[in-house]
């Protein structure tokens, strides 16, 4: 009986001691230490629990209850103290530690338009000012549109001008140039006049090197109407080149051959790297070839639904990656689609 009383007193003393110790604590480290000492496995309260079974049967519930009350009480105070310490730490960090608002924020990564798209858009802008509308047509073409209707019959040697990607489907190919768009557009608009540009990706089964890729963008120009002359072709192209490269740029037309135009020509411009003196960019010639062009062949006009006796037109086609290369001094066309961010970031 005496022993029982003692234990109750001891429990009270334990509680008092613990709470007094807790009062002095103001850091979380000390608090954790306190918890180990007063509520841990070998703490005094826990020892009391261990001793209960050895006590007189009648007293065990009373002692157990008391020990529980003390333990719960200590736990409650522990939680309260923890809350208090955390609050104090927060208040301290807000009031004492300065927040440096002058540090630069983290900028979001910004994307950009691909160099090829930038050039295409610049060309759209210039040609839009000159009255040309964008007309889009498919990249997967039929042999008929890519060749036949453009006056390039099967087995004609002119087909060798384009190394073609064929598909397993008979007569279905990847377009080798944007010219088939001419026929699509003429079919849609004939007999109304058209003044359009046909931009987009074309595909060629070629050995790749610094100036050859298996895919690249072209822009085709087409104007069909009454009384359109070679003079219109020349004036339009010269104006375009001046707006694209600067008013001082000199151009020249050289006779050439394309099955879908007659007469046909190629336009060169004075080398912008050496001003025509001759350098590696222009292979010493002083001139850079930039596009093919000509008066739309009567057969093509007819295939498009126009009467060649009443209508005439001009067409031109240029590779726009080549234009980008000239404008920015890019020396390898394979950079465009290699997807190397270090290259693309520069533009």
Residue ranges in contact with ligand DAH by CB under 6 A: 177, 179, 220, 258, 261, 292-294, 315-317
Min separation Cβ 277 and ligand DAH, Å? 28
Backbone angles phi, psi at 12, to 5 degrees: -65, -40
The dihedral sign for the CA sequence 129, 135, 141, 142: negative
Rounded CA-CA distance 283/286 in Å is: 8
Rounded CA-CA distance 183/256 in Å is: 22
Q: Which two tokens stand for residue 87?
A: 């609050």
DSSP 3-state of 13: helix
Rounded CA-CA distance 195/185 in Å is: 10
Secondary-structure percent of the chain, ordered helix, strand, coil, rounded to 5: 45, 20, 35
> Which residue is closest to ligand DAH by CB?
317
Burial degree of 234 (CB within 10 A; 0-12, 13-18, 19+)? middle
Min separation Cβ 319 and ligand DAH, Å? 8
Min separation Cβ 278 and ligand DAH, Å? 26
Min separation Cβ 158 and ligand DAH, Å? 11
Closer residue to ligand DAH in complex, CB, 183/315: 315
Closer residue to ligand DAH in complex, CB, 66/322: 322
Min separation Cβ 193 and ligand DAH, Å? 17
Min separation Cβ 122 and ligand DAH, Å? 20
The residue ranges of DSSP E strands in the chain, in sequence order, are 133-134, 140-142, 172-174, 194-203, 215-225, 251-256, 261-270, 287-296, 312-319
């Amino acid at each position: 009986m005496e022993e029982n009383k003692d234990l109750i007193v001891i429990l009270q003393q334990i509680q008092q001691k613990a709470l007094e110790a807790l009062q002095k604590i103001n850091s979380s480290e000390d608090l954790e230490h306190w918890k180990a000492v007063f509520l841990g496995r070998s703490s005094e309260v826990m020892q009391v629990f261990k001793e209960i079974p050895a006590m007189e049967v009648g007293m065990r519930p009373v002692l157990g209850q008391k020990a529980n009350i003390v333990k719960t009480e200590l736990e409650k105070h522990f939680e309260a103290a923890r809350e208090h310490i955390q609050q104090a730490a927060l208040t301290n960090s807000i009031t004492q530690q300065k927040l440096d608002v002058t540090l630069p924020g983290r900028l979001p990564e910004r994307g950009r338009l691909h160099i090829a798209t930038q050039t295409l858009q610049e060309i759209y802008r210039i040609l839009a000012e000159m009255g040309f509308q964008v007309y889009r047509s498919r990249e997967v073409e039929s042999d008929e549109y890519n060749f036949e209707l453009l006056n390039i019959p099967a087995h004609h040697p002119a087909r060798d001008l384009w190394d073609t990607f064929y598909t397993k489907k008979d007569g279905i190919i990847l377009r080798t140039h944007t010219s088939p768009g001419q026929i699509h557009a003429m079919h849609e608009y004939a007999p109304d006049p058209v003044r359009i540009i046909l931009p987009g990706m074309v595909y060629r089964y070629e050995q790749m090197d610094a100036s050859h890729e298996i895919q690249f963008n072209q822009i085709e120009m087409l104007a069909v109407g009454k009384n359109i002359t070679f003079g219109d072709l020349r004036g339009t192209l010269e104006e375009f080149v001046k707006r694209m490269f600067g008013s001082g740029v000199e151009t020249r037309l050289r006779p050439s051959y394309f099955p879908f135009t007659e007469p046909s020509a190629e336009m060169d411009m004075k080398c912008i790297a050496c001003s025509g003196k001759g350098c590696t960019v222009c292979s010493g010639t002083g001139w850079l070839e930039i596009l093919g062009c000509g008066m739309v062949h009567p057969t093509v006009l007819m295939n498009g639904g126009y009467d060649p006796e009443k209508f005439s037109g001009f067409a031109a086609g240029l590779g726009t990656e080549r234009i980008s290369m000239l404008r920015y001094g890019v020396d390898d066309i394979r950079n465009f689609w290699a997807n190397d961010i270090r290259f693309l970031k520069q533009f």
